[in-house]
Structure 1
Amino acid sequence: MPAADSSKPRRHRRFRRRLRTRIILSFVLLGFGLTTLFAFAALWASKYVENQLVDDVMNRNIDEYVRMHQRNPDAKPTLAVDQMYGRVVNPNDPGSMARLAADYPQWVSMPEGISSYTGTDEANQLLSYKVALRKTPDAWYYLAYDTRRANIAQQRLWWWLSLAVLVFVALSLALGWWSASKVMSPVSELASRLRAYRGSSNPRPLAPHFPQDEVGELAKSLDDYAERLTEVVQRDREFNADVSHELRTPLAIIRGSVELMLSRPDMDEKTRTRIQRIQRAEQQCTDLISALLLLSRNERGHGNTDVARVVDQLLDAHRATLGGKPLTLRVEGEEGARVDSPEAALSVALGNLIGNAVKYTKEGEVVVRLLPDAVEVVDSGPGLSKEDAARLFERGYRGTHAGHSQGGGIGLSIVSRLCALYGWEVGVRPGESKGVVATLRFSPTREASAANPARA
């Protein structure tokens, strides 16, 4: 069964945005939004004002055009604006209306007032103009105004406003970059000072290095948290040291008394067996205390421990507790492998794996295989479910086959923590036919290390 993976899923870095990036992006979006809104407002206002001015000019000019024509119908009225063109049509003359329809078919059905038209001239150039119409019983007065220059001016204004938007976006980017640097500078300094305190058991206060602002308040909160955390860690270390010291004393007394009792030649075999069980239990307690003390201090002890010898001791201890259980314990593989760790740490790690195999295997055998860089514990028990395999190394979790057996579900959690401390690997997988294969690897491979939680 694959090694249980308790590592939390990591968020993809590409979906993460740094605070500095978010500040810069906010400035850019704000600058772009405001300048774009201003550009559209300027274009609309320019177009509106221009239409109002053109309509006003055309209304005044067509009124003047009508008056001039009515005073002297034979004279050609003079227009004050170069882009204007006037025409008078007699609605009662079919020929005049026919010529109007031939030249400007849209004007025939045009309502009185001002209307906008587009079209093309003889050279197929785009035309854009407005036409004002005044109707009398004897004459229709048309006044056309060419709006192409105004449209060109509108296009130029659009290009200039587009350039202004780009310039203001660039300025917003520069301002956002500068502001983000100013805003993030104290935060970055705070993070740098925190990283500098990594591994320190007595970090210096952070608040004096920052002004009385939000970052200063954050520094004060971190100082308070660090102080409380340091107190908790210190109490935990003192407690562990005191418990370790106080437990070692009675264990040393038990060890001395057991050795003294075992030295008596007149002791019967049954009593000797029971006293040897007491001796092995005392050794297990001593090893467990040493391992827990290393874990509490996060201290990696060193040694040159013979793996085969520790396995033999553990198997001998479990053989003595089998009673009439039809279970065979044996060891396979080559001896000679050594591990740079105290014997207590290796004994606790292997002892939990072997103890679980012996505990949950009702009959058959438990085989411990010695490999050059690992130890495998193979049992013929009922195996593990998928849920057990996924949560086996969680603290307090007990498998589906635990039943009413004693234990708080912390043994394999201790193994996992020891592996993380020493850079080992621990994992389980299904056996070839039945049972479980538990592996403790001392030289983790790259592939396995990526999928196993119990590693440094």
Structure 2
Amino acid sequence: MASAIASRHPMSKAEGGVPARGIRSRRRYRRRLRSRIILSFALLGLGLTAMFAIAAAYVGAVVEDQAVGAVLKENLDDYAERFYVDQSAQLSPLGSVRAYVFGPDKWHNAQPDWIDLESGVYNMHGIQDGKPFVYRLVVKKDPDYWFFVAQDTTSTAEVRARIKLILIAAVVLFTALAGLIGWWSASRVMRPVSELANLLGASDESARPAALAPHFPDDEVGELATALDDYATRLTEVVQRDREFNADVSHELRTPLAVIRGAVELLLTRPGLDDKTVARLQRIQRAEQQCTDLISALLLLSRAERGHGNTDVCRVAEQLLEAHRSQLGSKDLELRLEGEAGTLMVDAPEAAVSVALGNLIGNAVKYTAAGAVVVRLHERAVDVIDSGPGLSDEDAANLFERGYRGSYAEHTHGGGIGLSIVRRLCSLYEWQVRVVPGEERGVVATLRFEAGDGDGATG
């Protein structure tokens, strides 16, 4: 990829450093965390009370069935023994209990749904006076007689239904109570975190951030505030050093570049210069301009601020192509511009447009041995089309990574940072850059001067 000078820069607003967006993200996160705490309490209350209610209902039903069934069965066994001794023996009264005995010639008189039952205890359903009722049936079948004892449990079933309703109401009540406790606990737990987020959001970007730790006790949130203070101190020092470095580099480089520009302009005015000398001086002049543009673009990136201007992309492209024509040497390569002046105007400094478009054109010229490099202007975009070796899948995936050099970069110079600068400029100005293989061969690089849905660079 094209070689260029890179400078570290703090996170720009276009790259995700917008304070308001960060605050909104933290608030959404706090709401989600508070909701999770409340939901956890509510689910815990629901789970515990539901398990307790189910266990209570189950145990009550089992105990009742076993206790009442055992009493009825003992009573029936006792009655059967006394019946064989004295068939006039009567069943001991047990409230709503009825006893039935059927001999061998009377078995068919038993209720149809009793005939096939084996000895044991059963919960049965029936209809009496047009109303459904529930009863418990104890069966004892001997070879000679069948004994049945039926106890009406309709009132018991109604009591069970009321108990179930009470248990359901208790589950709902305790779940709501657990949710209220969770809301109160979440408010207390999240209050220090909310205060910390508010203090972070109120900090001024242009000033050194105020210490956070003194506002909090010596607990987990206090430890987090201390860690944030330490991180902010180190980050502020890095940013300060970076800004000072950029300012120093800008000043120290612009001065000799201005001297070079003045010297070249003076030399070009001298009469009697041969064509080779003029060509070399013009090359020095273009290199000085390219270096000046690159310094200006990198300073914009380092400060994370957008410069403004009214740049004619056609004029910039024409200058870039002219600069590359003088450096083609023996290459059989046609450089062509398709578009007219004024076709595409961009609200950005000419230096930013020149660096972004220049890297795309420079890559196309560098990797195309023969054929043509075409710069085609559209209403809001510019295409750089070459007839070079194309683009591999690996190149497409890593093209804009800093330090990455393509598959065909073995015999070329450069550190692989040119397109990373293009990506950063696109992120700063919300432009879009896209590099894809051509229809038959080569590569098509598109620089679109408008905001898109991506992150500013796609491959």
- TM bucket, shorter chain: 0.7 to 0.9
| Structure 1 residues 309-324: aligned runs within 5 Å | 309-324=315-330
Q: 2:46 aligns with which of 32, 46, 50?
A: 32
Q: Secondary structure at the match of 1:18?
A: helix
Following superposition, the deviation at residue 298 of structure 1 comes to 1.0
Give a deviation string over 1:154-213, Cα, whole Å, max 9, x none: 222222212222222233333333333333333233333333337445222223333333
Partner residue of 2:404? 397
Partner residue of 2:419? 412
Give a deviation string over 1:112-149, Cα, whole Å, max 9, x none: xx7335253665744422438699x9999875533333
Q: Aligned in 2, Cα 1:102/1:363: closer, same or farther, shift over 3 Å?
A: same
Following superposition, the deviation at residue 431 of structure 1 comes to 4.3
Q: Aligned in 2, Cα 1:82/1:330: closer, same or farther, shift over 3 Å?
A: closer
Following superposition, the deviation at residue 34 of structure 1 comes to 0.7
Q: Is residue 37 of structure 2 the alignment partner of residue 23 of structure 1?
A: yes
| Structure 1 residues 138-177: aligned runs within 5 Å | 144-177=150-183
Q: Check conservation: 1:101, 1:108, Cα contact below 8 A.
A: no
Question: In terms of Rg, which structure is larger?
Answer: 1
Q: Is residue 271 of structure 2 the alignment partner of residue 265 of structure 1?
A: yes
Give a deviation string over 1:89-110, Cα, whole Å, max 9, x none: 8xxxxxx443366336858996
Q: Distance in 2 between matches of 1:238 and 1:227?
A: 16
Q: Check conservation: 2:72, 2:149, Cα contact below 8 A.
A: yes
Partner residue of 2:289? 283
Partner residue of 1:440? 447
Give a deviation string over 1:218-268, Cα, whole Å, max 9, x none: 222222212211111111122222222222333333334333433433443
Q: Is residue 346 of structure 2 the alignment partner of residue 339 of structure 1?
A: yes
Q: Is residue 449 of structure 2 the alignment partner of residue 450 of structure 1?
A: no
| Structure 1 residues 323-402: aligned runs within 5 Å | 323-336=329-342, 337-402=344-409
Q: Check conservation: 1:368, 1:376, Cα contact below 8 A.
A: yes
Q: Distance in 2 between matches of 1:139 and 1:370?
A: 108
Q: Check conservation: 1:348, 1:415, Cα contact below 8 A.
A: yes
Q: Distance in 2 between matches of 1:140 and 1:229?
A: 93
Q: Secondary structure at the match of 2:402?
A: coil
Q: Aligned in 2, Cα 1:98/1:158: closer, same or farther, shift over 3 Å?
A: farther
Report sequence identity in percent.
58
Q: Is residue 212 of structure 2 the alignment partner of residue 206 of structure 1?
A: yes
Following superposition, the deviation at residue 38 of structure 1 comes to 0.7
In terms of mean alpha carbon deviation, does 235-244 or 379-388 score higher? 379-388
Letter of the 1:54 partner, please give it.
Answer: V
Following superposition, the deviation at residue 39 of structure 1 comes to 0.9
Following superposition, the deviation at residue 405 of structure 1 comes to 1.0
Q: 2:249 aligns with which of 229, 243, 246?
A: 243
How many pairs were matched up? Answer: 429
Q: Is residue 302 of structure 2 the alignment partner of residue 296 of structure 1?
A: yes
Q: Distance in 1 between matches of 2:436 and 2:144?
A: 107
Q: Is residue 124 of structure 2 the alignment partner of residue 118 of structure 1?
A: yes
Q: 2:98 aligns with which of 85, 95, 108?
A: 85
Q: Distance in 1 between matches of 2:292 and 2:145?
A: 122
Structure 1 unaligned regions, length at least 5: 1-6, 90-95
Q: Distance in 2 between matches of 1:122 and 1:51?
A: 23
Give a deviation string over 1:266-297, Cα, whole Å, max 9, x none: 44332332233223222222221221121111
Q: Distance in 2 between matches of 1:119 and 1:287?
A: 95
What TM-score, normalized to structure 1?
0.79
Q: Secondary structure at the match of 2:384?
A: strand
Q: Check conservation: 2:389, 2:442, Cα contact below 8 A.
A: yes
Q: Distance in 2 between matches of 1:341 and 1:178?
A: 53
Greater RCO, CA 8 A, separation 6+: 2
Q: Distance in 2 between matches of 1:42 and 1:151?
A: 16
Following superposition, the deviation at residue 300 of structure 1 comes to 1.7
Q: Aligned in 2, Cα 1:87/1:229: closer, same or farther, shift over 3 Å?
A: same
Cα RMSD over matched residues?
A: 3.8
